[in-house]
Amino acid sequence: MKESPAKSAAARKAGAKQAAAEKAPTKKAAASAAAPAKKAAAKKAAAPAKKTAARKAAGAAAPAGKAAARKPESRVAMVRRARRINRELAELYPYAHPELDFTNPFELLVATVLSAQTTDLRVNQTTPRLFAVCPTPEDMAAIAPEELEELIRPTGFFRAKAKSLIGLSTALRDRFGGEVPGRLEDLVTLPGVGRKTANVVLGNAFGVPGITVDTHFGRLARRFGWTTAQDAEKVEADVAAIFPKSEWTMLSHRLIFHGRRVCHSRKPACGACPVAPLCPAYGEGETDPDKAKKLLKYELGGQPGQRLKPPAGYPGQPAPPLASA
Ligand code: SF4
């Protein structure tokens, strides 16, 4: 039977409606399926921005380490980076100085010998009484060992240190006319005096450039990628090849200041470290800015940017004007 045109038009309309109805849920499903994908893409795009902001907030550009891992650094790039680190540290610690109290080369020599295996603070608490009793090499050479041991007991290893102090004082009296010599080759002949102690005395009592490789200096030089050596003499030679002589003494103070306050041995405060963008070892310590801040030890003195008074008798650079009396 042939359909009437009106009927077939109605049928076509109904079919189209059904098709549209079938299509509609598919669109909806597609939209809902697309939503998580869109969200994921948005998240992906936002992530690096977020990370960058976090890094900026931490004041630390982590990629220094990652970049170094990707591509070995050329010698020229390493030297350039090393000198930038030195400049940053110079701004951070404008008046870095030896933290031992002294008023003449003999006191600095004795204080440096006493500082082995103890803190400068402990030495500074001990030396006023010691120097009141033994102000000269002659006095120290003549003191009874037991009396000297008692005077320096708080610094630890007091028997060995007393032996060194009497030995070096006797040598100063007998071989150097009671004066501390100003040459490395003479200083290292004194009992208990190695290159580290000799360089401290040369750099700070005589103004002769010297690199002081103590535990802080060695650790930071390795973290900065300036050396891989553990041996102090090798570290000294590697660092000496990077910096001009005129920088050696102050560079030593700056690294030691930074090692004591920020870049600690076990938990460096990477997340609060101002030289993090230049440091290949970023991430070796705490990277969370808030947690890292708690690790800082600025109570030792020398906040970044703070002008410190020079220690008594310090013959190095003239003191910059202090911000406040
Ligand atoms: S705290 Fe030390 S290891 Fe960490 S970024 Fe600073 S200098 Fe590098």
Q: Which atom of ligand 1 is nearest to the CA of 268?
A: 1
Mean pLDDT over residues 276-283, rounded? 96
- How far is the C-alpha of 212 from the C-alpha of 233, rounded, in Å? 10
Q: Which atom of ligand 1 is nearest to the CA of 258?
A: 7
CA dihedral 284, 288, 290, 296 (to 10 degrees): 10
Q: What is the pLDDT of residues 15-48, one digit of tens each?
A: 444 444 444 444 444 344 444 444 444 444 444 4
Per-residue pLDDT of 189-202, as tens digits, reads: 999 999 999 999 99
pLDDT greater at residue 4 or residue 276? 276
Q: Which atom of ligand 1 is nearest to the CA of 282?
A: 5
Instruction: Identify the pLDDT of residue 300.
Output: 52
Q: How far is the CA of 232 from the centre of ligand 1 (A)?
A: 20
Q: What residue's CA is closest to ligand 1, atom 4?
A: 270
Query: Does the active-site annotation cover 56?
Result: no
pLDDT band at 59 (very low <50, low <70, confident <90, very high): very low
pLDDT confidence tier of residue 213, bands split at 50, 70 and 90: very high
Residue 296 CB-density burial (10 A; 0-12 exposed, 13-18 middle, 19+ buried): middle
Most confident of the following: 5-19, 38-52, 73-87: 73-87
pLDDT of residue 191: 93
Residues whose beta carbon lies within 6 Å of some atom of ligand 1 = 223, 262-263, 268-270, 273, 275-276, 279, 281-282, 284-285
Of 94, 165, 179, nearest to 131 by C-alpha is: 165
Give the other-Cβ count within 10 Å of 70's Cβ: 8
Q: What is the mean pLDDT of residues 87-112?
A: 90
Residues 140-188 pLDDT 10s: 999 999 999 999 999 999 999 999 999 999 999 999 999 999 999 999 9
Higher pLDDT, 152 or 302: 152
- Residue 299: the pLDDT is 55
pLDDT at 301: 56
pTM: 0.71
Site to substitute for ligand 1 among 85, 256, 282, most atoms within 8 A of C-beta:
282
What is the separation of C-alpha 180 from the centre of its chain, rounded to a whole number of angstroms? 32
> How confident is the model at residue 188, as a pLDDT?
96
- Mean pLDDT value across the chain: 79
Question: What are 167-171's contacts with CB under 8 Å, separation 24+?
Answer: 167/191, 167/192, 168/109, 168/113, 168/137, 168/192, 168/193, 169/134, 169/137, 169/138, 169/139, 169/140, 169/141, 170/137, 170/141
| Closest-lying ligand 1 atom to the alpha carbon of residue 262 | 1
pLDDT of 259: 94
Residue 214 annotated in active site? yes
pLDDT at 197: 94
109: pLDDT strictly greater than 60: yes
Quick one: the chain helix, strand, coil %, rounded to 5?
A: 65, 0, 35
* Best residue among 81, 223, 267 to mutate for probing ligand 1, ranked by most atoms within 8 Å of CB: 223
CA distance 210 to 240: 9
Active-site residue among 214, 231, 238, 294? Answer: 214
